[in-house]
Chain A
């Protein structure tokens, strides 16, 4: 939203971030039988004052990346540098103090607000924890400012979360994040739980607040249209890795990664004329399990541009093709120039249960109803 004259220094830098969750089995021995590679080697930097949109489908690791950046989830490897300070080795009190500058807005405002706390108490809690609560009068003034900023009536302070509508609750969540004067706000699906007509209110509010307080946003969402609307730059994630990153308009004009192309073509546009003309790139099959990601390029199992060599053996690095446009695809230039054609892809079986070793015994179903239901 705020057009920056020259790219300012990065506020946050993520270097080779990895988050692997162990899969454990057994009650007594508690063996680790494998890992879910939720985030697997992501580099990105967010400039001060910009909105960075992280988009991807469920299970691609976008939320985990956001949480790991704030150290809400401990990263397995990699570094997060916030305003020149390395957070990776930080813990305890210094980290807590640091957290004042990075706040989070969650998807579901009802479950992220304590139902037994009044709005006043919700807002004051953070301020108090960070020593920003200086006397009754100044606090009261600050609370009024906050409510005004997020567009809630001043009578809201004594009310409880259940007394508000979904959109208003999300405003409370935003006010709570703002209360400690942060630099960075990580918003994880901030509008996806809201009705369409209310979504726009919250999107506009986020934009206004950015201009007013000079905030930096990381917006995590699955809705590409929302992300494109709100973000200066967009990163597309697939199965734990960043596959493409570009300026929001650039990404829409010329998506280079096959996955981004497919994602773009799948988003419905509320205009029959556009819908009738569009060419859809239908992807075959489902997202492979992050516990057992495909070798080489993570996308090669579903990619309509897949080639015989490299795709299934060598994981493509995120490389800069145009200024500010990074793509992780071996053949991005060839696809762009039309030297490689799309071809049909057979859907592969994707198992929902994350068995590391497929257990064939579990595939056998019952022979009859009686076997299923018992005698």
Chain B
């Protein structure tokens, strides 16, 4: 059994006087212990809302969550606030994008780490502060004992993100959700943080859900990748399969539109036409159809289902009526 089983998860935001908005629309995926699963997509695709729903961090009012998210057999979505609080921090850790706004600005770093240890691991203050210094050292913060008494504003962006990771790891969670953990950081710092996360997953068998818009980050880190578009997973495959032969026109288009550092200069990018807001509802057809170069008439009439790839071997699921031919996908890969 998987560590986390998400089945048919939907999140609908309802505001009075406005039409309900479906941010996440029937998302299903599994996370095994020690596995890194990527959720990739552009802004508004529902990747962050998915993680917030799993962690029980969405507001109660105006939000309708349906489906199921089972962690180690326990249904997370039906837990009470108190039960969820026990889980969060102990079994489930989360790292957010902006470390400055996720750390409490008026509480010292040390206290923010020891708080978790005292709450979930029943440590005395003394024990906790020794453990906290070790944690900070483990995530690569120099001079950890002194850092404990400092405040978030005194740390640099990269150090803050490390502190946040230290807090998330304080109770050795079995599942860590990282929501764009490196987006606010510079590339050299990003490389440090990604290396840190990769080491942690390897050394501690922690399962990691990596939420990002950056396909480069995914390529280096994730075992399995879910590509989201307008609230639904449109393609799922292992990272090697996905990048070698992207089958969904959206995945293919994303890869073709990124300038690559190792690509020869002067080659034109092939962007996806339109913008993320040019969607049709999933109920009438494929949401990506208006922007899709492969769109057929059926695409705007029949909603495609998530099915195993009929052509390319391997454990791949695809939501598309007219996927990109593997030949052209591979050819373009070689050409680029």
Instruction: Please state if A347 and B140 are interface contacts (CB–CB under 8 Å).
Output: yes
**A284 vs chain B, min Cβ distance (A):** 8
- For residue A296, CB closer than 8 A to chain B, the reply is no
- Answer whether residue A282 sits at the interface, using C-beta atoms and an 8 A cutoff: yes
A195 on the interface (CB 8 Å rule)? Answer: yes
Q: How many residues of A contact B (CB 8 A)?
A: 64
Assembled-state Cα–Cα distance A230/B218 (Å): 24
Given contacts A228-B261, A349-B142, A270 and B255 within 8 Å (CB-CB): yes
| Any B CB within 8 A of the CB of A372 | yes
Q: Which chain B positions have C-beta within 8 A of A268?
A: 190, 194, 214, 216-217, 219-220
Residues from chain A with Cβ under 8 Å of B83 in the complex: none
A353 at the B interface (CB under 8 A):
yes
> A207 vs B107: C-alpha distance in the bound complex, in angstroms?
49
Cβ contact within 8 Å between B156 and A271: no
Q: Contact: B220 with A272, CB < 8 Å?
A: yes
Contact mask for chain A residues 255-286; partner B; CB cutoff 8 A; 1 contact, 0 none: 00000001111111111111110001011011
Chain B residues lying within 8 Å of A280, measured Cβ to Cβ, are 191, 195
Q: Is A9 an interface residue (CB 8 A)?
A: no
Contact with A along B213-234 (1 / 0, CB 8 A): 1111111100000000000000
Closest Cβ–Cβ distance, residue A210 to chain B (whole Å): 13
CA of A285 to CA of B158, assembled, Å: 8
CA distance A268 to B220 in the complex (A): 7
Q: Report whether A203 and B151 are in contact in the complex, using a CB–CB cutoff of 8 Å.
A: no
| Chain A residues closer than 8 Å to B260, beta-carbon distance | 225, 229, 269-271
**List of A residues within 8 angstroms of B263 by Cβ:** 229
Q: Would you call A228 and B275 a contact (CB within 8 A)?
A: no
- B264 part of interface (Cβ distance < 8 Å): yes
Instruction: Judge whether A283 and B192 touch: CB under 8 Å.
Output: yes
Chain A residues closer than 8 Å to B110, beta-carbon distance: 365
Max chain A C-beta neighbours (<10 A), residue from B187, B191, B192: B187
1/0 per position for A312-351, CB-CB distance to B under 8 A? 0000000000000000000000000000000000111111
Among residues 300 to 326 in chain B, which have CB atoms less than 8 Å away from a CB atom of chain A? none
B253 at the interface (CB under 8 A from A): yes
Q: Distance in Å from the Cβ of B45 to the closest Cβ of chain A?
A: 10
Q: Which of B143-172 contact A (CB under 8 A)?
A: 143, 146, 148-151, 153-159
Is A99 part of the contact surface with B, judged by Cβ < 8 Å? Answer: no
In the complex, the answer to whether B277 meets A165 with C-beta atoms within 8 Å is yes
CB of A296, distance to nearest CB on chain B (Å): 20
The answer to the question of A222 belonging to the interface, with a C-beta cut-off of 8 Å to chain B, is yes
Whether the pair A365, B186 counts as a contact (CB closer than 8 A) is no
- Report yes or no: B271 in contact with A352, Cβ–Cβ below 8 A: no
Q: Is the CB of B192 within 8 A of A195?
A: no
Complex alpha-carbon distance, A230 and B255, angstroms: 17
Smallest Cβ distance from A248 to chain B, in angstroms?
Answer: 5
Residues of the A chain whose Cβ atoms lie less than 8 Å from the Cβ of B19: none
Q: Does B269 contact A (CB under 8 A)?
A: yes
Q: Determine whether the beta carbon of A1 is less than 8 Å from that of B191.
A: no
A58 at the interface (CB under 8 A from B): yes
Measured between beta carbons, the chain B residues less than 8 angstroms from A224 are: 187, 261
CB-based contact A270/B219 at 8 Å: yes
The 8 closest A-B pairs by CB, nearest first: A268-B216, A365-B149, A200-B271, A229-B259, A200-B257, A275-B220, A266-B191, A57-B186
Interchain Cβ contacts under 8 Å between A and B, 25 examples: A57-B187, A195-B275, A196-B215, A196-B258, A197-B291, A199-B257, A200-B256, A201-B273, A204-B268, A204-B271, A228-B261, A229-B260, A229-B263, A249-B264, A263-B187, A263-B188, A268-B194, A270-B215, A270-B255, A282-B191, A286-B156, A286-B158, A286-B159, A350-B156, A365-B149
- A residues sitting closer than 8 Å to B (CB atoms) are 1, 57-58, 165-168, 195-201, 203-204, 207, 222-226, 228-230, 248-249, 252, 262-276, 280, 282-283, 285-287, 346-353, 362-366, 369, 372
**B residues at A contact (CB < 8 Å):** 42-43, 106-108, 110-111, 140, 142-143, 146, 148-151, 153-159, 186-192, 194-195, 213-220, 239-240, 243-244, 253-273, 275-277, 291
